[in-house]
Structure 1
């Protein structure tokens, strides 16, 4: 094993196993459920945001669909494929900070699945979107119908989530440039370059 492979493993990165395919040496990383969840959530979030004040019945139904997707993703985080599992990408705050420092110096190791910062973003987005769904549902109940503080919390979570989405996209672009790979394409095809 080379020194660089030792450094990657010490940093918590998983070295890729080589697999031949018609597209070159790539490996399957993202299973179909993860990809459908990701792009489905993107589309539903945009639809929910644009229908919030325009079509209440559609907004509510989209909210239920989002809640169902998030619930399924949480389950998949425990029983899904290797890189979909929380155990593969949830890291301590110290590991996340160390990785972020390495990334800012363009010295971050490449991870086959989510890197520590990306893993933290997945968790943050799941929590925020779960909060949006919960407060949205609360506003349809007798107990919180017309409650201004619940509506304000709902909107605050939405705009905080939009901020996280901007950071997520920036992180994807930054990491893709740092490691010379198209991470958007990987989330479509499910495959990434082998080590």
Structure 2
């Protein structure tokens, strides 16, 4: 028992707290809302709508946190300009990208893309429930296009997480569960 505690304490000293509990809870809840809304889109409409509202609520809170919180949560600490993001993508292509404790520039761009696309999907979905736009085919098509875009971005996100986990020999899924990443 004592050796197990020593092992845990050693791992804690060699890691850094990256994601607060509320960010991790929102991440997994948002993933569940998006997946559930996608699955329910043709089945139980009211469940689809409430999951969509849940997703938009989480996105709104995350946007506020990105401006108000600090550390690895703050947008200015991981959102980079187009030149730096493209440069990082070129490094990935060459297999020479550097590891980041927080989000890398590609991850930062993905977060922005997901937040925007989920927001727009939610907005168009809500508009479809209003008297003005109920049954509007063009808006339904836009909503479906955006929803498919979210799923495409999620697939890219998962591929990026897998690639970074393999390249940097760390489990990024575990980091989003524990909130910790290794220092070196």
| Partner in structure 1 of residue 31 of structure 2 | 42
Could you tell me which residue of structure 2 aligns to residue 63 of structure 1? 52
Q: Identify the residue that residue 163 of structure 1 maps to in structure 2.
A: 152
Is the Cα–Cα contact under 8 Å of residues 26 and 192 in structure 1 kept in the other structure?
A: yes
Structure 2: gaps of 5 or more residues: 1-7
Q: Is the 8 A contact 1:31 1:81 kept in 2?
A: no
Q: Which residue of 2 aligns with 1:89?
A: 78
User: Does the 8 Å contact 1:67/1:133 carry over to 2?
Assistant: yes
Q: What CA distance in whole angstroms lies between the structure 2 residues aligned with 1:71 and 1:31?
A: 17
- SS of 1:23's equivalent in the other structure is helix
Per the TM alignment, residue 21 of structure 1 is displaced from its structure 2 partner at its CA by 3.4
Return the offset for 1:102.
0.8
Aligned to 1:23: 11
Count of matched residue positions in the alignment of Structure 1 and Structure 2: 176
How far off its partner does 1:23 sit?
A: 2.5
Taking the aligned partners of 2:44 and 2:17, their CA distance within structure 1 comes to: 40
Structure 1 gaps, min length 5: 1-19
Q: Shift of the alpha carbon at 1:56?
A: 1.1
Partner Cα separation in structure 2 for residue 116 and residue 45 of structure 1: 24
Matches within 5 A, 1:1-195: 21-24=9-12, 25-195=14-184
Give a deviation string over 1:36-92, Cα, whole Å, max 9, x none.
111001111111111112111111111111111110000000112310110011101
- Cα RMSD for the two superposed structures: 1.2
Deviation string, structure 1 residues 6-59 (Cα, Å, up to 9, x no partner): xxxxxxxxxxxxxx9343511100111110111001111111111112111111
Structure 1 consecutive aligned stretches of length 4 or more whose deviation exceeds 4 Å? none
TM-score between both structures, scaled by the size of structure 1: 0.87
State the distance in 2 between where 1:175 and 1:156 align: 28
**SS of residue matched to 2:9:** coil
Distance (Å, rounded) in 1 between the aligned partners of 2:51 and 2:137: 22
Return the TM-score normalized by structure 2.
Answer: 0.92
Distance in 2 of aligned mates of 1:84 and 1:75: 10
